[in-house]
Copies of this chain bind each other. A is one copy, B any other.
Amino acid sequence: ATYFGSMHLAPNKVLVDSIVRLGQRAVVGKVSMDRESPDNYIEETQQGLADAEDFVEYTLSQQCSRVMPCITPRFIPTCTMESMKGLAAIARKYDCHVQSHISECCGEVSFSRHLHPEHRCDALVFDEAGLLTNKSLMAHGTLLDDDAIRLLVERGTSVSHCPLSNFFLGDACFRVNHTMNLGLKVGLGTDVAGGISASMLTSIRMAVVNARCLRAHKLAIKGGFDDKRTARFEVTPDMEVDVISFKEGLYLATMGSAKAICIDDKVGSFEVGKEFDALLVDVNVPGGPFDIFDGDSMEDQFEKFINLGDDRNIVEVYVQGKCVKRGDDFTGDVIKPVPVEPSSEKKRKAAE
């Protein structure tokens, strides 16, 4: 998982403790925000930077390679350039991840332009701050234009596609195929602040619906959106280019997401030599949410799980080769964290 925690330092440390104890693999960040926020939910800039660094050090001190700290400016409207630049320096110092929201909806983008008239788009603001790194993950990106996408690609920055959130908050649909064709690394997320489900299965289904919605956009544009919508138009090949299948949705949730947070050398597929992160799925689980019939091929069964399955089908969860959850119960097997590799530790020390 990649977590946006809260703004306060202490609860984020509890979050890290829980992740370590439950055996999750996660990129986790304490949210930073020092402007345009409610009076009772805002940081003073320098204190915020100190807390962000404290959080990074606390997380690294766990010596657990599964749990990676992340610099997390909430988004441009709530972070001053001073704060963003300070956060970028911390990210450089510890070689850690960066996450934020980018070009998410009309209101946000307009307000960013108002705050930063010197920059044409969110991507340029983040870039000035030094927050577009090859370990940066930006949520949404629904309103990114191609130049902005090319800048992200150049910096090695990825986007977390959160389809359900886009429907509720995002104003537009993210173009998975288009941006991936431009070289963008795309992972799949939920952003439950905007969506209604934290399940990656829901997100896969909604990524497919989002892509079909892009197709419908083009038909709506061609056919008009007035009272005369009888098909004077037809589906043309250019309308199909955004469509993705459930298999491509699954790719986004696995390899796509592993690439998006730069851990595709360790997880994301079952290649020999990678760490074993996996689900044990029982499509025939008693009281399960769908039926398997005699004629169902392995692929049919798999498609049913992706489209109709839920937590009942997930009988075991493995992280780094250990079973961390069996049925409804966390196994508690994961007592001793696997330490971080010496190489990255060395790199961190060298940077200090």
Chain A residues with a Cβ closer than 8 Å to the other chain, count: 51
Which of B121, B172, B173, B234 is within 8 Å of A110, CB to CB? B234
Cα distance, A148 to B230, chains bound together (Å): 9
A346 contacts the other chain (CB 8 A) = no
Whether A1 is near chain B, meaning CB under 8 Å from some CB there, is no
Ordered by A's residue number, 13 sampled pairs between the chains whose C-beta atoms are within 8 Å are: A103-B230, A106-B233, A107-B235, A110-B234, A143-B231, A145-B227, A145-B230, A167-B213, A168-B212, A172-B216, A172-B223, A197-B308, A310-B310
A328 at the interface (CB under 8 A from B): yes
A220 touches B (CB below 8 Å): yes
Is A171 part of the binding interface, using a Cβ–Cβ cutoff of 8 Å?
A: yes
Say whether A219 contacts B145, CB under 8 Å. no
Q: Is the CB of A231 within 8 A of B196?
A: no
What 5 A-B pairs are tightest by C-beta distance, nearest first?
A146-B227, A109-B231, A196-B307, A217-B220, A167-B212
Q: Does A347 contact B (CB under 8 A)?
A: no
Docked complex Cα distance between A235 and B216 (Å): 19
Bound complex: CA A215 to CA B105 (Å): 13
Give the CA-CA distance A3 to B106 in the complex, in Å. 42
A107 neighbours in B (Cβ, 8 Å)? 234-235
Can you list, as one digit per residue, whether each of A272-298 has a CB less than 8 Å from chain B (1) or not (0)? 000000000000000101000000000
Q: For A289, list chain B residues within 8 Å (CB).
A: 310-311
Task: Find chain B residues with CB under 8 A from A219 CB.
Answer: 106, 171-172
Which residues of A (210-253) have their CB < 8 Å from a CB of B? 212-213, 215-221, 223, 225, 227-231, 233-235
Specify which chain B residues have a CB less than 8 angstroms from the CB of A148 in the assembled complex: 230
How far apart are the CA atoms of A229 and B120 in the complex, in Å? 12
A21 on interface, CB distance cutoff 8 Å: no
Residues of B within 8 A of A197 (CB): 307-308
A167-B212, A220-B220 as given contacts; A229 in contact with B308, CB under 8 Å: no
Residue picked from A107, A229, A289, A310, most chain B C-beta under 10 Å: A229
- Min Cβ gap A177→B in Å is 14
Q: Decide if A8 is an interface residue (CB 8 Å cutoff).
A: no
Cβ proximity bits A136-154 to B, threshold 8 Å, 1 near / 0 not:
0000000111111000000
Interchain CA distance A307-B197 in the complex, whole Å: 8
Q: Nearest B residue to A235 by beta-carbon distance?
A: B106
The digit string for A41-59, where 1 denotes a CB below 8 A from any CB of B, is: 0000000000000000000
